[in-house]
Structure 1
Amino acid sequence: MLGSDHRPLTGLRVLELAGLAPAPFAGLVLADFGADVVRVDRTGVNSSPDTLTRGKRSLAVSLKSPEGIAVLQKLLGPADDSGAWRADVLIDPFRPGVLERLGLDPQELMKRNPRLIVARLTGFRRQGPYSQMAGHDINYLALSGVLSMLGRKGDKPYAPANTLADFAGGGLMAVVGILAAVLERQGSGKGQLVETDMVTGTRYASIFPLTVSHPGAKLPMWDRPRGENALDGGAPWYDVYERIFVAALPADLCQEGKPEAQHQLDRDTWPDLATFLARGFLTKPRDEWTALFLGTDACCVPVLGPLEVDKAGRGPNEPQHESSAEARSGLSDFPLPAPRLTRTPATAPAGNGLFLQPGRHSLDVLEKAGYSAQQVDDLLRTEAVGNGRGRSHL
């Protein structure tokens, strides 16, 4: 374990097979809330570019070695009276069929350990013509029907980086499923498969725009093509209380065509209103507008850069200092855990830095799993396991 604490998931043991974006994010969220997350990295690799390793430990295992697979099977096996480390949850980031080919068939694992929860994340749906294809966030977003809704009028669809499919539809949905399975297991004593695909997950995370824009809803909020609706960039007044905003604009600008509140929903006025707002904002620097609107109900805030958020994003009456954990880790510009629990809050443990060296904690994990020193030496010698510091643990 990473230490004694009272976070809500303390005591939950997670084995995360290293993957890209959504699976590591799911593991990070669980780790932030107290789970003991062991990330399984490849052997023979001295570094990893993955930044989603906060609060985790790394065990380097060769997935091509029968001895390495046997190590994972043991870690995923049933708990015994010795208290040795055994996983409650396995996070699988691979395409359908990969675990089975490795000798880690989830059905077989759950027969041996009925309490095991196996969370499987795929990009495309597990059945269908795309199931065995490689893909990325933008591909899943496209098949979800949501990408076609994003972008400006008359322009091509525009993807919001890889936040929606990978992280909202993938990683966060996997966390929800894992926690639901953990709660259900308290009553039944049984684990289960938690299957998340990013096409379905993205549609679920986007249920509001998908339902309000449905022809059957007959709602004027989102009944037009992309970029012509109230919340997709079509309405120039979105997130602006018109009267307060106009009151703050320079008088000479208002004289050229002051908008009237009664015309706010008149789509014919939107092009002129968009020009008016664009010209108005160009009359002052961003920080002057920030000061002008601060404390009002104009719903007008600055667009912050990624490195501005922790300081400028805090309220004016909040302390502007780093927490001790942030200061020690040097990662105060990186997102902190959410949501906030008042009695048992999540934390962002210091110690790993931005990157986690593959195999850094192999020896500790194997010891906690009940391996003897000789057994560890044998695994290192055959390179079924790596420790990130050479072959010897002495």
Structure 2
Amino acid sequence: MGKPPLSGIRVVEFAGIGPGPFAGMMLADHGAEVIRIDRTRPGGLSLAIDAKDPLLRSRRSVSLDLKNPDAIAAVRRIVRDADAIIEGFRPGVMERLGLGPDVLLGDNPRLVYGRMTGWGQTGPRAHEPGHDINYVALSGVLHALGRAGEKPTPPINLAGDFGGGAMFLAFGMLAALLHAQRTGEGQVVDAAMTEGSSVLMSMMWGFRAMGRWRDERGTNLLDTAAHFYDTYETSDGKYVSLGAIEPQFYAEFRRVAGLDDAKWDRQMDQGGWPALKDELTALFRTRSRDEWVALFEGHDICFAPVLGFDEARADPHNVARGAFVEAGGVSQPAPAPRYSVSDTVVPQMAGARDDAGLLRELGFGDAEIAALGH
């Protein structure tokens, strides 16, 4: 295997929560050198680094008081030699610090300036506070999530913070880095969680245009209305997932489960879905989760048990793939995806802070380091 694909790329990450660190983790997982700038609290106390947080893995950090002009000058100096930055403040904050795009791109014209916000850099809501739940609400995503007749169910913070935010930021930064390598021209990447999360719904927008998706949640093929695409409780209080959409998988499910009655023939008759779901609900409660797993194993059905954290880590398939790793005593997902030629980075948890050591590596002398309070 060769070096990770982002080896040689330096990214400066301004400390934040949620999607910004997740994007930094993704880039570091694939070989980028990510240097995190932590802001100090009043009195010079550094913000705590949690050594158990996978979002902070595989990069080092330095704490700087960004109200100190010497610290601002130091940041500009560090960014001058970087390929990209990540910041997740509200619009205008970086500009007020003297670290806005005009300044940093002026110092480094090939810089990719990654900006992570909920609402985006412009628009009527741009300066309003918010969280994942608010962003996916405005994008139309949250409205679609949940069962019929029930209130919308937030998908933790997966669709906004991480799927619609961090992953779109990382993708946009890589696209801009390719552009910068070809042209020498840097640019700003404006990643808004509202827009990223809405893009995740593109297939449903297509289904809607084709007349195959209703605007009422819990009434469609993939949102728990169909009896052949849902989760079911088993006799031991656990759950299984069924996704037998295609006719051949549905037929095999019926065969193995012993569903011979002709009423099961009308798979796509939505009028019959509620009654068939009631029957499957009762059927799945007749056996334990592991008994259903054993029954369906080796059959082309699109079926899997619903696993908890520890169960997922111990599942034989996940073990064989190395899907989870342990670093610093913390079990966590391994970097993904995998490459045929390149390595990913073996996760290293955040360690004890060595601000002075990192600053020396970045070319700062002892007097300059002392002026920064280290």
Where on the TM-score scale, by shorter chain, does this alignment land: which range?
Answer: 0.7 to 0.9
8 A Cα contact 1:36 1:56, kept in partner? yes
Q: Note the C-alpha offset of 1:224.
A: 5.5
Task: Name segments (4+ residues, structure 1) moved above 6 Å.
Answer: 320-323
Find out whether 1:307 has 2:310 as its counterpart.
Answer: yes
- The aligned counterpart of 1:219 is 211
Out of 133, 151, 168, the position equivalent to 1:173 is: 168
Distance 1:54 1:328 in 2: 9
Higher-RCO chain (CA-CA 8 Å, sequence separation at least 6):
1
Distance 2:323 2:21 in 1: 25
Distance 1:313 1:133 in 2: 46
8 A Cα contact 1:243 1:261, kept in partner? no
Distance 2:327 2:93 in 1: 39
Change (3 A) 1:201 1:229: same
Change (3 A) 1:120 1:137: same
Change (3 A) 1:321 1:160: closer
Query: What TM-score do the two structures reach when normalised by structure 1?
Result: 0.83
- The aligned counterpart of 1:33 is 30
Q: Which amino acid is the alignment partner of residue 337 of structure 1?
A: P
Distance 1:94 1:156 in 2: 31
- The aligned counterpart of 2:75 is 72
Q: Which amino acid is the alignment partner of residue 282 of structure 1?
A: R
Distance 2:215 2:107 in 1: 54
**Larger strand percent:** 2
Q: Which amino acid is the alignment partner of residue 254 of structure 2?
A: V
What stretches of structure 1 of length at least 5 have no aligned partner? 78-85, 381-385, 387-394
What stretches of structure 2 of length at least 5 have no aligned partner? 230-242
- The aligned counterpart of 2:8 is 11
Out of 337, 346, 349, the position equivalent to 2:347 is: 349
Distance 1:137 1:224 in 2: 21
Query: What TM-score do the two structures reach when normalised by structure 2?
Result: 0.88
SS where residue 232 of structure 1 aligns? coil
Distance 1:294 1:57 in 2: 45
Q: Which amino acid is the alignment partner of residue 218 of structure 1?
A: M
Find out whether 1:335 has 2:333 as its counterpart.
Answer: yes
- The aligned counterpart of 1:287 is 290
Distance 2:149 2:192 in 1: 31
- Count residues with an aligned counterpart: 350
- The aligned counterpart of 1:243 is 251
Q: Deviations over 1:95-123 (max 9, x none)?
A: 10000011112112111211111000110
- Identity, in percent, stands at 39
Out of 357, 362, 379, the position equivalent to 2:355 is: 362
Q: Note the C-alpha offset of 1:248.
A: 3.1
8 A Cα contact 1:165 1:201, kept in partner? yes
Out of 63, 68, 77, the position equivalent to 2:66 is: 63
CA RMSD for the aligned pairs?
A: 2.1
Q: Note the C-alpha offset of 1:327.
A: 5.0
SS where residue 184 of structure 1 aligns? helix
